[in-house]
Structure 1
Amino acid sequence: MLMHFPPQLPDRMERFYVQYIEDWALCNGLCMRDIDNSHAVHAPVTMFPTPFSKSGFEEALRIQCAFNELYFHAATHEEWLLGHLEEAAKHDDFTAKLIQIHKAAKAGQTQRLTGGLWRSDYIVNGSRTSLEGRQVKQVEFNTVSVSFGALASKVADMHEFLSHASRSWTGHGEVPRNTALKDLARGLANMHAGYKVAEIQHRQATHQTSTSAIEDEDDASIMDDPVVLFIVQPDETNVMDQRLIEFELVKEHDIVSYRISLAEVPDFVVRTNDNRLLHNPSGREIAVVYYRAGYAPSDYPTDVEWNAREMLESSHAVNCPSTLTQLAGAKKIQQVLTDRSVLTKIAPSLSSDTVDRLMKTFVKIYPMDDSPEGEQGRYYALREPDHFVLKPQREGGGNNIYGEDIPEFLQSIPTESWAAYILMELIEPPKITNRILRAGKLQSGRVVNELGVFGTVMWDRDHNELLMNEQAGWLLRTKLQDSHEGGVAAGFGCLDSIQLMGPLKDDN
């Protein structure tokens, strides 16, 4: 049964809303480039903010720092991490190549700091018609190229504005502020500052003096002006989401950024004899390499891209993320960490109460290898697939296999390749409708919402010391229920914001 949502508007008011959304988006940077990259269009968005469990939303925000800490531990337990990915790497060339890059770059690394902008994704789960009291269940944890934080902040602002602009609909619940843009930029700024502090300490030690080594004029110019390097995809359509972070870095932190693709690294990045990176032609030192690409095989069409990743990885810059940290976000690692005994062994610093809260967000995830748990996963995948989704070790939309399609897919690939996948229990979302505006056209129907909570982290890998651990805003993506995938950039979903709700009445 559908809830009393969204409001039913007369045609004239609906046209008013559509025009407002399109104009507000274009005026405020809630945009993407069109498919041929020729001009900007409004990002796909919902007409109204979607009702969402207040308790579920607040718990997802509260628990983000615990997830940050958990995956920090996973990324710093190198032997454990690579051991669990060994079998998947035998059948997944991309995972194997990332491991190869990590091992090749490790010997030359001189930077002790590493960082991450992460996101934990959830769907509200349960069969009750009331939203309140439902638990959020984790869909996945992303450690590389998390997107739409900047545009998500804009959507919340837009919906808040519309609630004041129209008297026909003033909202049914609080639309919470979203600080993801500011928080993510601050995370990168903290990595930038960490690089500078580490350099000051290094130079002081080298000069063996209590006086700061940056008193030298040349040193001062280097330390005052390092930059952030964005690694992006060629012909990126989601450029505004990235540019907004770049502009925020300049506006609030006086930090300049440059953006290039992996293929452009040889032309625009120079590595010095002491392993530092300089941007060409500006000559400015690169403090942080921030990846908004590099998460999928399509980002590495030739050896040029792989060689560039290895060079950046082995340099003195802070990588956000390192390849090892990227690998910590593999679906296999997510599956392993749903075992309480494994979780507590890897992250002993987490309290028992915190572990309980983490465990409540998990659904059942099975391996697809030949272990006893894998045999159970294979049984469900072939005999009872309707309640499951099959996932590879991939980021980005369009990779998952759902329900009745699973057996046919598995039978189309060698049995030994099944170990590269995990089988995850499907989450039952609330029954809600909304209206989606995409390319100026409205779509209506039952929708599924996925909440993402961002986190920013930085640690000293020489001492396994967590130096930054913050929750960094949120994202709500919405798709029509008949679409399996939810990626906005991949063309499946749209951007949304939240009305914090208690119990809602259904149609009866």
Structure 2
Amino acid sequence: MEPVVPLPLDPSTLGSLTASAKDYAVLSGLAYLTDDPGDNTDLVSFAPFALLPSPVPRALFDQARAVQQDFNLLVHRVSHDRAFLTRCLSSVVKVDHFTAALFHIYEQVQEEGVTQSICLGLHRSDYLFDTNNNAVIGTKLNGVTANRELQLKQTEINTIAAAGAGFGEKIASVHKHVLSLLGITNAYKHIPENRALDSQVDGFVAAWEQYGSQKAIIVFVVEEERCRNVFGQRLSEFTVMERHPSITVRRYSLKQIAEDAELKSDKTLFIHGSEVAVVYFRTGYSPDHYPTEKEWIARLKIERSRAIKCPCISYHLAGTKKVQQELAQPGVLEKFLEDPKAVSRVRATFVGQHTLEMGLEGDRTVQMAMRCPEDYVMKPQREGGGNNIYGEDIRTVINKLKGSEERTAYIIMDLICPTVVQNYLMRPGDRPKLQGSSCELGIFGVFMADGDQVLHNKQGGHCLRTNHSSTTAEGGITVGNAVMDSPYLV
């Protein structure tokens, strides 16, 4: 696809533009802690971002937004099907200790009886624009570049700590500023409105109101150490309190919750004397977030409580890669979505998902991936970026695991080949360099239900992350690969 302006920019224009864009980004709140602050945790720079917005086919953007409510409902219904979750994860929990520990909490809560029936979900469904149909991309018809060859394909759905809402809003204003400096005055027609932060705040407030105690607080569960993306988290926290002064938001680590939280006999959760209405996890999705038994004690204490969880443990498990692989199998979606049009909308975003279960089907997947590893990606049950396996590394890992049950901790997914566009990727301390890049569109969903009663189901804005076009560069900004971006609809 063609960039939004002819590239490369001349050195003088590039120099003045990048200087202005970086300053505008910081003043807009698009800020990150520096990579290596040493003893000084107050060193701040701009969050990595693309100098120009990336072209996104308007039809695919609309398609992604239109299907989000279906995905919201799908996650909820899957999470409430104990037999399905148990069957999906039965092999994984035998070999993946982290998923097993999560599932143990799920089973314990199920056996005791779920104390809080209200569930809050702040999801993000991620997509690439796939060129994998052997069509010529960017051909022109009557002088207009045609993008209909591209297809919207889902990489994953995030049900815990789905970041990017606040920055997704902020980067749009940066790009409008950049384009105005380049003389493009109609950017507002192409850069869509984004209410991702507002939508999440609406979700927090709705859950707080449902809990029904004016004195209760919202708790953000955060990492023990101050993370680079603290300002993205703070945007949500501060916005809640600014728009709703009666609500207090506190930040605690899992360790602090283990040590300081008290679970009353009626399962009401208190921390330092404050009743907790809503618990929002910004951590807890990776094994290294549980360095000691204390963190697991805290997770269980939260799950057993009356507080509304975002996500509850069943939502967390519903977002695992193994569940994603199972949902892609013929006839499975129909068990959870009665509307045939919703089934079609969801299924249209899927790519091939292949099991590594022990048996003939898993053996066929092994042979297929060994034969052409460059056509696939191997995924463990992990979130946060930087975990997937590509190319010849797939062959190496499968050779090691192919006769072992340990292979069932992974799935194999068809590799999506995203469209590539030229852009300047801006990172603190680096000079902007023109390079091929690909973008990943994230659509947020805000969902709340009490059992089968849906209370809130909305498409909640978007974010765009862009990285260099290597197929092995995953889209995590925090892990150092991606940069913030915004869609320029074409």
TM-score by length of 1: 0.89
Q: Per-residue deviation at 1:230?
A: 0.3
Check 1:360–1:91 CA distance in 2 against 1; reply closer, same or farther (3 A cut): same
Which amino acid in the other structure matches residue 128 of structure 1? Answer: V
Check 1:371–1:65 CA distance in 2 against 1; reply closer, same or farther (3 A cut): farther
Alignment check: 8 A CA contact 2:156 2:321 kept: yes
Q: Could you tell me which residue of structure 2 aligns to residue 29 of structure 1?
A: 29
The equivalent position to 1:39 in structure 2, one of 26, 38, 43, is 43
Report matched runs for 1:203-214 at 5 Å.
none
Check 1:318–1:494 CA distance in 2 against 1; reply closer, same or farther (3 A cut): same
The equivalent position to 1:81 in structure 2, one of 85, 104, 107, is 85
SS where residue 332 of structure 2 aligns?
helix
Q: Could you tell me which residue of structure 2 aligns to residue 276 of structure 1?
A: 268
For 2:173 and 2:296, locate their aligned partners in 1 and report how far apart those are by CA, in whole Å.
39
Structure 1 residues 242-275: Cα deviation after superposition (integer angstroms, max 9, x where no partner): 1000111012233221011111113442222321
Check 1:292–1:391 CA distance in 2 against 1; reply closer, same or farther (3 A cut): same
The equivalent position to 2:183 in structure 1, one of 148, 167, 170, is 167
Unaligned runs of 5+ in 2: 139-145
Which amino acid in the other structure matches residue 393 of structure 1? Answer: Q
For 1:443 and 1:180, locate their aligned partners in 2 and report how far apart those are by CA, in whole Å.
30
Q: Per-residue deviation at 1:98?
A: 0.2
For 1:97 and 1:443, locate their aligned partners in 2 and report how far apart those are by CA, in whole Å.
44
Q: Could you tell me which residue of structure 1 aligns to residue 157 of structure 2?
A: 141
Farther-moved stretch of structure 1 (9-18 vs 383-392): 9-18
Please identify runs of 4+ aligned residues in structure 1 that moved more than 6 A: none
How many residues matched? 469
SS where residue 427 of structure 1 aligns?
coil
For 1:58 and 1:4, locate their aligned partners in 2 and report how far apart those are by CA, in whole Å.
19
| 2:447 pairs with 1:480 | no
For 1:185 and 1:83, locate their aligned partners in 2 and report how far apart those are by CA, in whole Å.
35
For 2:341 and 2:441, locate their aligned partners in 1 and report how far apart those are by CA, in whole Å.
23
SS where residue 147 of structure 1 aligns?
coil
Structure 1 residues 345-393: Cα deviation after superposition (integer angstroms, max 9, x where no partner): 1333xx1122112111111010111244322211122111111000001
For 2:302 and 2:242, locate their aligned partners in 1 and report how far apart those are by CA, in whole Å.
27
Check 1:142–1:269 CA distance in 2 against 1; reply closer, same or farther (3 A cut): same
Alignment check: 8 A CA contact 1:156 1:175 kept: yes
Alignment check: 8 A CA contact 2:261 2:269 kept: yes
Q: Could you tell me which residue of structure 2 aligns to residue 376 of structure 1?
A: 364
Check 1:71–1:486 CA distance in 2 against 1; reply closer, same or farther (3 A cut): same
SS where residue 95 of structure 1 aligns?
helix
For 2:136 and 2:450, locate their aligned partners in 1 and report how far apart those are by CA, in whole Å.
45
Check 1:45–1:169 CA distance in 2 against 1; reply closer, same or farther (3 A cut): farther
The equivalent position to 2:394 in structure 1, one of 406, 421, 426, is 406
| 2:170 pairs with 1:158 | no
For 1:172 and 1:313, locate their aligned partners in 2 and report how far apart those are by CA, in whole Å.
44
For 2:171 and 2:393, locate their aligned partners in 1 and report how far apart those are by CA, in whole Å.
34
| 2:465 pairs with 1:460 | no
Check 1:173–1:499 CA distance in 2 against 1; reply closer, same or farther (3 A cut): farther
Alignment check: 8 A CA contact 1:6 1:435 kept: no
SS where residue 224 of structure 1 aligns?
coil
Q: Could you tell me which residue of structure 1 aligns to residue 69 of structure 2?
A: 65
The percent of aligned pairs where both chains have the same amino acid is 34
Unaligned runs of 5+ in 1: 197-222, 502-508
Farther-moved stretch of structure 1 (476-485 vs 158-167): 158-167
Check 1:168–1:330 CA distance in 2 against 1; reply closer, same or farther (3 A cut): closer
Which amino acid in the other structure matches residue 47 of structure 2? Answer: A
Q: Per-residue deviation at 1:102?
A: 1.5
Structure 1 residues 441-464: Cα deviation after superposition (integer angstroms, max 9, x where no partner): 213211111001000111113xx2
| 2:242 pairs with 1:251 | yes
The equivalent position to 2:316 in structure 1, one of 315, 320, 326, is 326
For 2:280 and 2:187, locate their aligned partners in 1 and report how far apart those are by CA, in whole Å.
38
For 1:396 and 1:443, locate their aligned partners in 2 and report how far apart those are by CA, in whole Å.
26
For 2:418 and 2:304, locate their aligned partners in 1 and report how far apart those are by CA, in whole Å.
43
Structure 1 residues 187-230: Cα deviation after superposition (integer angstroms, max 9, x where no partner): 1111111111xxxxxxxxxxxxxxxxxxxxxxxxxx22211100
Check 1:310–1:4 CA distance in 2 against 1; reply closer, same or farther (3 A cut): closer
Q: Could you tell me which residue of structure 2 aligns to residue 363 of structure 1?
A: 351
Which amino acid in the other structure matches residue 29 of structure 1? Answer: G
Structure 1 residues 472-505: Cα deviation after superposition (integer angstroms, max 9, x where no partner): 110101000125222101111111001101xxxx
Alignment check: 8 A CA contact 1:5 1:433 kept: no
| 2:299 pairs with 1:309 | yes
SS where residue 369 of structure 2 aligns?
helix
Check 1:125–1:262 CA distance in 2 against 1; reply closer, same or farther (3 A cut): same
Q: Per-residue deviation at 1:4?
A: 7.2
Check 1:6–1:425 CA distance in 2 against 1; reply closer, same or farther (3 A cut): farther
For 2:262 and 2:96, locate their aligned partners in 1 and report how far apart those are by CA, in whole Å.
32
Q: Could you tell me which residue of structure 2 aligns to residue 438 of structure 1?
A: 427
Alignment check: 8 A CA contact 2:286 2:382 kept: yes
Q: Could you tell me which residue of structure 1 aligns to residue 143 of structure 2?
A: none
Farther-moved stretch of structure 1 (372-381 vs 295-304): 372-381
Structure 1 residues 334-354: Cα deviation after superposition (integer angstroms, max 9, x where no partner): 011112411101333xx1122
For 1:330 and 1:388, locate their aligned partners in 2 and report how far apart those are by CA, in whole Å.
18
Q: Per-residue deviation at 1:440?
A: 4.0
For 1:171 and 1:371, locate their aligned partners in 2 and report how far apart those are by CA, in whole Å.
54
Q: Could you tell me which residue of structure 1 aligns to residue 141 of structure 2?
A: none
Q: Could you tell me which residue of structure 1 aligns to residue 124 of structure 2?
A: 119
Alignment check: 8 A CA contact 1:288 1:319 kept: yes
| 2:287 pairs with 1:287 | no
For 2:258 and 2:295, locate their aligned partners in 1 and report how far apart those are by CA, in whole Å.
9
Alignment check: 8 A CA contact 1:366 1:376 kept: no
For 1:145 and 1:391, locate their aligned partners in 2 and report how far apart those are by CA, in whole Å.
19
Alignment check: 8 A CA contact 2:420 2:469 kept: no
